Structure 1
Amino acid sequence: MTAHVSAVAKRIKAINWSGSFDRTPSCVALLREYLRRASWWAEAVKSSEWPFFDIAAAVNPAVRADPGQIQAIEDHLSQKLQGVLVVRTCVRALHFAALEDAGAKLPRVPASVVRPFEPLLMMFERGGGFRLGGSGLIEVDTAGVPKGTASSHHTDKTVVALEPAALDALDAGA
């Protein structure tokens, strides 16, 4: 069964990649929430790679999304002129969804970080994208988020609620 992989692929294909500077504050918060979640996962799987690493491969390298689905997403994103890091994170979200479909045993992480790629998917859905700048900043629109280290983002406190109303309030300046 590939319900999770299909759902993630459908979400990625539905994204409007034209961008929106009106949503930069929420996109920055979503990126920071991803960094927080990735720090927990890096610790759980004892990964030296961070922040944009293949969590699914670290958990169980034998469980992967179907190559045909991966190719379809890569082809779709190349038509949308997305950078390699965005493409990789989308593919890695599919591989993580494959773990869920397979019922793979996952390491213990706090409940608030169980779905590590959800903040990035939501950021993309809100018109955000990112790239890694040469200065160590992760660039989201005109904002720069310090990449830092996994430990600098390792906190129990959620950065932002993954709810449209909370994200809209950030964008409205509330």
Structure 2
Amino acid sequence: MNSEPSRAGLERLRAIDWSDDSAAYEHAQSRRLLMHEHLRRSALWAQAYGAEGDWPFFDVTRYIDKEFRLPPALATELDECLKKVAYSARKTCGAAVRLAELRARGDIAMPDLPDLYEPLILFYERGGEYLQDGAGFLDLTGVSIKPRGLRHHLVDLPFLTLDTRTLDALDAKGRISYHAPADRSGLVVRRRLLKAGEQRDEVFTQDLRWEPTDLLRLSGEKKTDAVYTQIGDIDAAQLIQSAVLGVSRPDASRPDMTRIDIDDPEFEMAEDEVALYRGGRFTGEVVEYQRGALVSLVTYKEGVEDGPSKEWYVDGTLRSDGVLRGGLPVGESTDWHRNGRPAARVLMSANGLRQLEITEWDDEGNLTKEWRAERG
């Protein structure tokens, strides 16, 4: 059994500062969205396992497999860790580690649902626990919300932009509204209403910073081509994440690598499957987004696929990972099911012309195919 995911989760819990109220105030906006996403995911899992009565903060592993137990050494480490965890968070923190271990065991089919505890762990990492009062309100420190009931949260709009940089960009003081052009083609603008009636308009620039702007005023006076309309904070988060993940910007770790969006009007695929950008053979990375989430990245050299190639499901789960050279897959490539389990692993020769190994599994982890080329 691979216990790396559960141990990684345990280390995340150990690193949380449960006494830092200042972080909770600083991250109030993102923590509110993360809690809403937990309520949505918790509703989905509760419905799937008949745990509606325990929603929203429950240990789903008790419903998946009542006989499941952590390995003794890991159970001891978790118990010691939970002694330092804020009381209201102990059940879900423990459940996150247990679910990771149960998934890693791979012998029980689970529904195709997004990770139950990730938004909540991020919530804890960004400012500690929540408190629940007798009226049903959740005090998140800096903001309070009242869950509307499981059935309401089942149909909530998903909040899938969990990148830390995006969450940081959402956090600011004041009452915030977001605005963007109707076609979502321009920059995101936020309006902050502060104490004493002060108002600040700021735009999220290509330098990934909020800067003062007159765009909303000019749009209202019809002095710009773009007509800005108010959008929800989840829509704003998707647009911000698109910028954060580097649409049309170079990869910071590879300064010589250009990155463009597949929908860039200056990008096209020629009939011979050669990638062209601004009329020339393209070298760099082409990315694709769906609903603000990165779903594919393909590397090209002189118009031909050459380098890392990755795909993700919209919820952020890795879908495929491999490398191509001269348009041919080389070395090992892996596909995953939506539930995170491996679907296929293929090993190619160094020149990409010969398959050496193929292994396939169903979404429950059962081996369905295993083939190796004859030596020779």
Q: What TM-score results when the alignment is normalised by the length of structure 2? A: 0.42
Q: 1:37 aligns with which of 35, 41, 44?
A: 41
User: How does 1:9-158 map onto structure 2 within 5 Å?
Assistant: 9-19=10-20, 20=23, 21-48=25-52, 49-79=54-84, 82-83=86-87, 85-110=88-113, 113=114, 115-155=115-155, 157-158=157-158
Q: Which runs of 5+ in 1 are unaligned?
A: none
Alpha-carbon deviation of 1:3?
1.4
Q: Which has the higher helix share?
A: 1
Against the structure 1 CA distance between its residues 171 and 70, is the aligned structure 2 distance closer, same or farther, given a 3 Å change threshold? farther
Q: What TM-score results when the alignment is normalised by the length of structure 1? A: 0.86
Which residue identity is paired with 2:59?
A: D
Secondary structure of the corresponding residue to residue 83 of structure 2: helix
- The percentage of aligned residue pairs carrying the same residue is 28
Against the structure 1 CA distance between its residues 132 and 109, is the aligned structure 2 distance closer, same or farther, given a 3 Å change threshold? farther
Secondary structure of the corresponding residue to residue 158 of structure 1: coil
Against the structure 1 CA distance between its residues 104 and 130, is the aligned structure 2 distance closer, same or farther, given a 3 Å change threshold? farther
Once the two structures are superposed, residues 47-94 of structure 1 have per-residue CA deviations (whole angstroms, 9 ceiling, x without a partner) of 1321111111111222232354344334334345x12x2011101111
Against the structure 1 CA distance between its residues 76 and 107, is the aligned structure 2 distance closer, same or farther, given a 3 Å change threshold? closer
Which residue identity is paired with 1:145?
A: I
Q: Which has the larger radius of gyration?
A: 2
Which structure exhibits the higher relative contact order, with contacts defined as CA atoms closer than 8 Å and separated by 6 or more residues?
1
Contact 1:23 1:128 in 2 (8 A): no
Inter-partner Cα distance in structure 2 for 1:123 and 1:57: 23
Alpha-carbon deviation of 1:160?
4.7
Inter-partner Cα distance in structure 2 for 1:79 and 1:37: 26
Q: Which runs of 5+ in 2 are unaligned?
A: 177-189, 191-376
Which residue identity is paired with 1:129?
A: E
Once the two structures are superposed, residues 131-154 of structure 1 have per-residue CA deviations (whole angstroms, 9 ceiling, x without a partner) of 221110111113222123211111
Question: Is 1:169 equivalent to 2:174 in the alignment?
Answer: no
Secondary structure of the corresponding residue to residue 168 of structure 1: helix
Q: Which has the higher strand share?
A: 2
Q: How many aligned residue pairs are there? A: 169
Inter-partner Cα distance in structure 1 for 2:64 and 2:19: 34
Contact 1:33 1:159 in 2 (8 A): yes
Contact 2:16 2:128 in 1 (8 A): no
Alpha-carbon deviation of 1:14?
1.2
Contact 1:27 1:128 in 2 (8 A): no
Structure 1 stretches of at least 4 aligned residues deviating more than 4 Å after TM superposition: none
